[in-house]
């Protein structure tokens, strides 16, 4: 029976003589506790209470077993419980762990599915005129989700071009014309084609029209099936120090492609747009924004079942995983970072709980990054102070600050307001600003 339930980590047979059954179950479950002879009710109860207290405190099965024996020390039956636990079997996955950070490999077994997002994108990416927006706080796995979801389209013959806006040097461009010329050349290069952009013609027609014409007459005719254009971290452009007019013009061009071209023209029907961003964007003119059309997929924190499943892959006990959740909530990157460090024995659970919310701890670099973001915006910093002062009570703040704090992952929405996202941020900023 137990081979059918891969999620079972530990079985305790805390009654009568059960060593034979325990050894049979051990063929399928990495930790089993049985009894070498009949055990008294009091001893069984004392063992169970101490054992489960150990697990609740984040101890591994071996340590919790020892606590169970200590708990029944006065019952005269310490030799009765038998532990069958292959620690190396449980931790063998540690040899194959993937260091967290950045886009995950499509085939990674540590990828956490975010239903129904993957299935929705796989379906919608095939629709003519599709514009898909993937939104979620920083380090929530948006890029990994995007790559995973559109891989099926690539398997079906679609060409994929990904542009991460964080990697672009906007200051060296300085104008819409230079940016669109670079944009066309970059897409051309990623497709493996020779650039045929006529910059003289572009100067006469205007680069917005020339860019559209270039896609229609040069790039798309060379695409036999679909072209999926992934624009990752596009909201970085809004934070750049460029003149806002040309930024609006670029996003307006994407909106025009979606509204007027991608459904009407045979060549344009090959194009699919995927925009990935961290925050709600409402600073663009309504009819010129690509962020209020198409289909939106919004990522949230990992759920408890998702975290426990990920912990199992890391060889980390459920008790330890729950302790970690108590510190970092369901923040995907912080959860993965914590599980990885514990599995690699780079840090103990006790050390993590004691120093995690400090700049000297495991999350120090992340916390420093959040600190710099708030120090660079006094109004946003004041809003975060307001959230912290409210403790776990919902607090209403300015809508722009609400969106920005959420994009950083510092808060979670609660009814019409927000609250601090996790204990890690609460401890760190309260200590920093006391």
Q: Render each residue's pLDDT in the chain as its tens digit; 434 residues.
A: 544 445 567 888 876 667 788 888 887 777 889 888 888 888 889 999 999 988 877 777 888 889 999 988 888 887 788 888 876 655 555 567 999 998 999 999 999 999 999 999 999 999 999 999 999 999 999 999 999 999 989 998 999 999 999 998 887 777 889 999 999 999 999 999 999 998 888 888 899 999 999 999 999 999 999 999 999 999 988 877 667 788 899 999 999 999 999 988 899 999 999 999 998 898 899 999 999 999 999 999 999 999 999 999 998 989 999 999 999 999 999 999 999 999 988 999 999 999 999 999 999 999 999 999 999 999 999 999 999 999 878 999 999 999 999 999 999 999 999 999 999 999 999 999 98
Tokens, residue 202: 């572009």
Return left, alpha or beta for 228; rule: phi > 0 is left, psi -120 to 50 is alpha, else beta: beta
Question: What are phi and psi for residue 294, nearest 5 degrees?
Answer: 75, -160
- Please calculate the CA angle 173-176-178 and round it to the nearest 5 degrees: 45
Rounded CA-CA distance 180/257 in Å is 14
Entry pTM: 0.79
Cα 3 to Cα 390: distance, rounded to the nearest angstrom: 48
Please write down the long-range contacts of 384-387, taking CB distance under 8 Å and 24 or more positions apart.
Answer: 384/410, 384/411, 384/429, 385/429, 385/433, 387/411, 387/418, 387/419, 387/420
Kindly report the number of other CB atoms within 10 A of residue 326's CB atom: 13
Give the chain's domains with CATH numbers.
2-85 (no CATH), 117-298 (3.40.50.300), 356-434 (1.10.10)
Q: Which residues pair with 160 in a beta bridge?
A: 228
Helix, coil or strand: residue 34: strand
């Amino acid at each position: 029976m137990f081979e059918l339930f891969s999620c079972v980590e530990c079985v305790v047979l805390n009654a009568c003589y059960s060593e034979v059954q325990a050894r049979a179950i051990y063929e399928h479950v990495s930790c089993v506790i049985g009894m070498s002879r009949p055990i008294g009710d009091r001893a069984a109860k004392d063992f169970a209470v101490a054992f489960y207290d150990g697990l609740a405190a984040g101890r591994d099965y071996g340590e919790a077993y020892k606590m169970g024996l200590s708990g029944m020390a006065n019952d005269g039956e310490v030799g009765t419980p038998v532990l069958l636990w292959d620690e190396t079997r449980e931790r063998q996955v540690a040899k194959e762990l993937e260091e967290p950070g950045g886009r995950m490999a499509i085939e990674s077994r540590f990828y956490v599915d975010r239903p129904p997002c993957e299935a929705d994108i796989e379906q919608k990416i095939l629709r003519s005129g599709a514009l898909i927006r993937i939104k979620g706080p920083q380090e929530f796995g948006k890029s990994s989700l995007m790559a995973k979801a559109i891989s099926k389209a690539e398997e079906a013959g679609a060409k994929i071009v990904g542009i991460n806006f964080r990697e672009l040097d906007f200051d060296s461009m300085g104008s819409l014309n230079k940016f669109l010329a670079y944009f066309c050349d970059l897409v051309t290069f990623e497709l493996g084609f020779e650039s045929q952009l006529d910059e003289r013609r572009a100067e006469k027609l205007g680069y917005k029209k020339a860019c559209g014409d270039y896609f229609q007459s040069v790039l798309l005719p060379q695409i036999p099936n679909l072209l999926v254009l992934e624009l990752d971290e596009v909201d970085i452009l809004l934070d750049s120090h460029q003149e806002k007019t040309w930024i609006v013009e670029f996003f307006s061009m994407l909106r025009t492609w979606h509204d007027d071209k991608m459904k009407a023209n045979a060549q344009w029907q090959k194009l699919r747009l995927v925009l990935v961003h961290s925050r709600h964007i409402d600073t663009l003119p309504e009819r010129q924004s690509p962020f209020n059309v198409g289909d939106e997929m919004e990522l949230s924190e990992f759920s408890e079942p998702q975290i426990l499943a990920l912990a199992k892959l890391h060889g980390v006990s459920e008790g330890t995983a729950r302790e970690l959740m108590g510190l970092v909530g369901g923040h995907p990157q912080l959860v993965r970072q914590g599980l990885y460090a514990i599995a690699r024995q780079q840090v103990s659970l006790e050390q993590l709980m004691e120093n995690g919310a400090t700049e000297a701890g495991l999350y120090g670099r992340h916390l420093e990054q959040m600190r710099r973001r708030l120090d660079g915006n006094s109004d946003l910093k004041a809003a975060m102070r307001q959230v912290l002062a409210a403790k776990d009570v919902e607090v209403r703040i300015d809508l722009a600050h609400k969106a920005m704090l959420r994009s950083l992952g510092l808060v979670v929405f609660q009814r019409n307001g927000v609250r601090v996202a996790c204990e890690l941020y609460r401890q760190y900023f309260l200590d920093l600003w006391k």
